[in-house]
Chains A and B, each alone.
Chain A
Amino acid sequence: MSSTDVLMKPLVSVLQMLRNRVISTEELLHRTYTRINETKSLNAFVSVVEKNDNLEFCIKDDRSSILKGIPFAVKDNFSTRNISTTCASNMLRNYVPTYSATVVKKLTDAGGTLMGKTNLDEFAMGVGTVDSIIGPTRNPWQYDFQHPNPDDWYIAGGSSGGSAVAVATGASYFALGSDTGGSIRLPASFCGVVGLKPTYGSLSRHGLISLVNSMDVPGILARCVDDVVFIYNILSGNDPRDSTTVQGKVEKVVMEENPSVKDLVVGIPKQYYGPDVSPEIIDCWKWAADTFSNNGAKVVEVSLPHTQYSIVCYHVLCCGEVASNMARYDGLQYGHRSDGGFTEEMYAKSRNEGFNESVRGRITAGNYFLLRRNYRKYYEKAQKVRRLIQTDIKKVFDKGSGKNSGVDVLLAPVTVSTAPQYKTFAQKTNSYRTVEHDIYTQSANMAGVPAISVPVRLSQAKLPISLQLLASNFNEGTLLRAAKFLENASSFQHPKFDF
């Protein structure tokens, strides 16, 4: 089998091969390093762990571990002990954490091999993985590997674009990302991989460098639902280091090979058909709705009346929390430090040099909304609208509340289009594109509910089209089974992106 074949296999298959000594962990790591090198023009990795360091570590070839040395990648906003963590920002260009995020530690404790840190939009603010100090990440789909044209490529989506590309190309079996407004689901949809945003409170945020504390969740990108389930079961659960993780509500997910959707109630949230959704995506949405109903699911129309205000609400709350979270970056204890005659001057200079324009823009807007005279008018107002959005979603999932309720999962688009070309995307600002592409993803973050992006087919231009499923809090089992059904029913295939 070719070098890349084994790298594209599902986790269960590779683990079997490792167990049966068909391949060794060392060989797997060698091939992964080769693959990372082959695909480096896509710029998915901010940093790669030294090959010798990893090989030295894996020589004992621990067959008893769950992950048996399987290579994985982590978005560069998760702290990794002794490994540079930059958040793709000048502010943290030289920052090396002295501890690892809980979710990273769980994976390495389970025997996984951390290969490297993946690219993102600076501080996870963005939808393209284009605003990074190492430059943009390129989508492998429709990318001319033989004769790459610097002006002709598609964006990977963001902000977890590096992770999505690493998984799509076989440079990683799975990768960690973070999702605050859609930052896992969007790049997953553009790159044709599965992206799970778990329920808020089900995975630990300890060590995930904060963007919006009330919405951030770590999540998983992989090439199939089974792999996502496998990793979710390792990562989920209470963490004493993160007081916003719940106790007792998170269950391990058990997955069948062919989950049935008989009597599953699938809601079609009508307001997820907003302005500018591409006809190809609508068509795909209809196909999926038919597929569910043809297989015994009860498909119903539901209404989430405050949907169109969700992105505005997200804008205000995100800026507000960002203003607060970014206040810690003053150059004193860590991060970029500039000269200054007095503290405020030093802080201001360090921050102006350390943060890009998008980050500064959100901090400024956030500080405006948090001014005493504006707090009630904007920030508290947004918190009230957030409750309306959450209530809309809670209601449809509520069993026994009559009309417009009783739904098990919601089926909707992920975003308005397939991956845009970079040259088009770059014509508008970061905030414009955020409003454009996070339009259907951030509601799940506002309500805290789990959501997943599943690739379903290719567009006319041969780019992946994905669909989104949402479920109620802590019902990842229901969500993932519906996702697996959709995956089984779809015609989507992962290409090998060979030269």
Chain B
Amino acid sequence: MLHHCCRCNWLKILFRSNFCQRKLSSSHFNCRLFGSDLVPSTSQWIEIKEEDLPSKTILSLEEVRHVENLALVQYEDLNFEKTILEDAIRFADILLTVNTDDVEPLYTVLEDESLYLREDIVTEGGSAENILKNAQSVMEDYFVAPPGNIALSDSEHKSN
């Protein structure tokens, strides 16, 4: 199946499978596989059923809120966000059906390359003005922020 061209004598042709016989009109002595014969005729995917997956993760509203607070983003409707997140998790569950025994994680496709260090020489600087340029609130050379030390989860000031 993997060779693209085979020379067969006419006796062998009689016993070849269908895809070769239909090319007979071009030559009695050449039995050639065309490129198109190698494109599959149907989907090659394995069907993954619901029962192949572990049980579906159902989140509590607290858990959703917890992720919101870590992410510092939220949806307007907490229940809708719960559904979106559960769907995302469910889709990811497909990975759990793949055997990864003795497989190392891949952090970067450049793992076989060296990172090059440049010389420790200053080549640019004095860019304070550029760095501050796009900030909305600046005072002298400082970015201005409201006070910290308060976690969003502890406060009643939730953006809704």
Residues facing B in A209-262 (CB within 8 A) are 214, 238, 240, 243-244, 246-247
Q: How far is the CA of A366 from the CA of B39 in the complex (A)?
A: 37
> Are A381 and B95 within 8 A (Cβ)?
yes
Contacts of A158 in B (CB 8 A): none
Task: Name the contact of A300 in the complex, choosing from B38, B40, B87 (C-beta under 8 A).
Answer: B38
Query: Smallest distance from the beta carbon of B101 to chain A beta carbons, Å?
Result: 9
What DSSP secondary structure best describes chain B's contact surface?
loop
Answer yes or no: B11 CB below 8 A from chain A CBs: no
Interface centre among B75, B81, B94, B118 (most CB of A within 10 A): B94
Q: How far is the CA of A64 from the CA of B145 in the complex (A)?
A: 50
Interface residues of A (CB under 8 A from B): 94-99, 200-201, 214, 238, 240, 243-244, 246-247, 266, 268, 270-271, 273-275, 277, 282, 285-294, 297-301, 306, 308-309, 312-313, 315-316, 319, 323, 330-335, 337, 340-349, 351-352, 355, 357, 360-361, 363-369, 371, 377-378, 380-388, 390, 403, 431, 435, 447-448, 473
Q: How far is the CA of A334 from the CA of B133 in the complex (A)?
A: 8
> Are A273 and B84 within 8 A (Cβ)?
no
> Are A200 and B109 within 8 A (Cβ)?
yes
Contacts of A244 in B (CB 8 A): 108, 110, 115
Q: A299-B4, A332-B135, A363-B71 are in contact. Are A290 and B35 (CB under 8 A)?
A: yes
Interface residues of B (CB under 8 A from A): 1-4, 33-36, 38-40, 42-46, 67-68, 70-75, 81, 84-85, 87-89, 91-92, 94-96, 98, 100, 103-110, 113, 115-116, 118, 127, 130-131, 133-137, 143, 145-152, 155, 157, 159
> Are B150 and A388 within 8 A (Cβ)?
no
Q: How far is the CA of A377 from the CA of B57 in the complex (A)?
A: 13
Query: Smallest distance from the beta carbon of B138 to chain A beta carbons, Å?
Result: 9
Which single residue of chain A is at the shortest CB-CB distance from B43? A275
> Are B106 and A384 within 8 A (Cβ)?
yes
> Are A319 and B150 within 8 A (Cβ)?
no
What DSSP secondary structure best describes chain A's contact surface?
helix
14 further A-B contacts with Cβ under 8 Å, apart from A273-B39, A431-B87, are A95-B134, A98-B133, A266-B35, A306-B98, A345-B150, A345-B152, A348-B152, A364-B84, A365-B84, A367-B67, A367-B70, A371-B70, A387-B104, A435-B91
Which single residue of chain B is at the shortest CB-CB distance from A355? B73
Q: A344-B151, A352-B73, A352-B159 are in contact. Are A246 and B4 (CB under 8 A)?
A: no
Contacts of B116 in A (CB 8 A): 238, 243, 247
Contacts of A268 in B (CB 8 A): 35, 38-39
20 A-B pairs (CB sep. < 8 Å): A96-B133, A214-B109, A270-B44, A282-B39, A286-B35, A288-B35, A292-B35, A301-B1, A332-B135, A332-B143, A335-B134, A352-B73, A355-B73, A360-B74, A363-B73, A368-B89, A380-B105, A381-B96, A435-B91, A448-B109
Q: How far is the CA of A360 from the CA of B130 in the complex (A)?
A: 29
Contacts of B152 in A (CB 8 A): 344-345, 348
Q: A293-B4, A308-B46, A384-B103 are in contact. Are A365 and B85 (CB under 8 A)?
A: yes
